[in-house]
Amino acid sequence: MRKPMKAVAIAAAATMILPVGACGGARTGIGAGSDGKGQVSVGISMPEQQLERWQIDGANLKKQLESYGYKVTLQYADGKTDLQSSQIQNMANQGANYMVIASIDGTATGAAAEQAQSNGAKIIAYDRLIMNTNAVDYYTTFSLTEVGRQQGEYIERKLGLKDGKKGPFNVELMSGSPADNNAKYYYEGAWSVLEPYFKSGVLQSKSGKVPKSLNDWQSIGIDDWDRQKGQAEMENRINSFYNNGTHLDAVLAPNDAIALGTVNAVEGAGWNYFPVITGQDAEKANVRAIIEGKQSMTVYKDTRQLAKATAQLIKQLVDGRKPDLKDTFDNGKKKVPSALLMPVSVDKDNAKKELVDSGYITAKDAGL
């Protein structure tokens, strides 16, 4: 699969979608891209509401699109692929001109996307690419490779690996859901930093759960990026390999849900320390855990900017303009024009500046 091209900075993300000229076709313009009454209809399919980030994503995107005067239907699929497919099909049948889909399973969503496209809708994959189908017109996301790279570099810095410390250090690795294509890119970024240290023996894993190759990343994937499943996995590793006083130095936790599960597992073990624990999404409970010294860092993806970039892309299509997107992702069937945004590494030192001062969360929510 083709790797993503270089990502643009988040500050430029909202303005990166620039018109380069009108494009023809039956679905462009307010009249042709509307419900027949002059109003554009947009369907949004989010995977679930249990993770705080999807609630925020959905609300921000709906608000942005409604600010343009569009009719917006937002639905959450409760983590069920069949329900998501049904919701997508129903919104398409009800006349959605544009479908924004954040897939639970990028492959399973393909058939529903194909039906929506056959009904005339433009398909925008949101945050997670829809795989192995031609029924995806655009893709908006953060650079997941950069997310993994920032987590790997944080572990590298905190363990003093660049300063020549030899360890060996005990590090446990986890990745995202095996059904989510994003998790592959995430792990690729983290592994690009950590692999040399595992090869040299500076890093090791007592559980032995280190993928034999990059293509084996699913062997350490946590289904659904789920907190409880991540916690159960870490409890098992702690009980099996670290209950004799062996020191655990760091945990590569792919997102904040799994990071919080890891914190819970460490607390349950009764240790008097926390290893370096990474995360992703800057959820409120995790930011508080960072301030309290339990979780070490998270990777902040300002979903307000992703929502803005996605809404602006749709507006340009409605207005009959072709978005100028310089990046592409290969989904197995086509190279999908893509808007990539850059995430930011956040720990206790810069949490106030990046999260509170920017208005993403309040000081109270952050525990400051």
318-365: per-residue pLDDT in tens? 999 999 898 999 999 999 999 999 999 999 999 999 999 999 999 999
| Residue 82 host element (H or E) | helix 81-93
Q: With beta carbons less than 8 A apart as the criterion, state whether 365 and 359 touch.
A: no
Q: Which residues of 99-116 are buried (b: 16+ CB within 10 A; e: fewer)?
A: bbbbbbbbbbbbebbbbb
C-alpha–C-alpha distance, residues 311 and 305, integer Å: 10
pLDDT at 126: 96
* The pLDDT of residue 12 is above 80: no
Q: Tell me, which fold does domain 41-136+302-342 have in CATH?
A: Rossmann fold (3.40.50)
* The pLDDT of residue 16 is above 80: no
Dihedral sign, Cα of residue 112, residue 117, residue 122, residue 125: positive
Q: How many residues does the chain have?
A: 368
Model confidence at 11, pLDDT cuts 50, 70, 90, reads very low
Model confidence at 181, pLDDT cuts 50, 70, 90, reads confident
pTM of the complete model:
0.79
Which residues, at least 6 apart from 301, have a Cβ–Cβ distance to it below 8 Å? 53, 142, 147, 280, 281, 282, 341, 343, 344
Model confidence at 38, pLDDT cuts 50, 70, 90, reads low
pLDDT at 179: 84
* The pLDDT of residue 210 is above 60: yes
The mean pLDDT of the chain is: 89
According to CATH, the superfamily of the domain at 144-300+347-356 is Response regulator (3.40.50.2300)
Which residues, at least 6 apart from 243, have a Cβ–Cβ distance to it below 8 Å? 269
The phi and psi torsions of 101 (rounded to 5 degrees) equal -125, 120
Q: With beta carbons less than 8 A apart as the criterion, state whether 105 and 294 touch.
A: no
* The pLDDT of residue 9 is above 50: no
In the chain, residues under CATH classification 3.40.50.2300 are 41-136+302-342, 144-300+347-356
